[in-house]
């Protein structure tokens, strides 16, 4: 599985701090996950208030 931030993301940044690998970064006013550093732990999925981060 991998973790993905959907387009519905409102860039609230609540997912950034819980990420143990610091792999969530903002690009062009949208947050994205650096796939090379992500370990698919799911910590960001748990804190997203809009359920915009999903495991696929």
What are the pLDDT tens digits along the chain (56 aa)?
A: 799 999 999 999 999 999 999 999 999 889 999 999 999 999 999 999 999 999 98
- Which CATH number is correct for 3-55, 3.30.70.20, 3.30.2350.10, 3.40.50.300, 3.40.720.10? 3.30.70.20
User: ∠ at Cα 37 (35, 40), nearest 5°?
Assistant: 70
Q: CA-CA distance, 53 to 11, in Å (whole number)?
A: 11
- Residues in a beta bridge with 55: 3
Q: What is the per-residue pLDDT for 9?
A: 96
Distance CA 53, CA 32 (A): 10
Dig out the tokens for 8 from the structure. 């519905």
């Amino acid at each position: 599985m991998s973790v993905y931030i959907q387009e519905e993301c409102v860039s609230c940044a609540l997912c950034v701090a819980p990420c143990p690998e610091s792999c969530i970064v903002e690009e062009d006013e949208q947050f994205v996950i650096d796939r090379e550093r992500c370990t698919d732990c799911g910590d960001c999925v748990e804190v997203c208030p809009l359920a915009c981060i999903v495991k696929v």
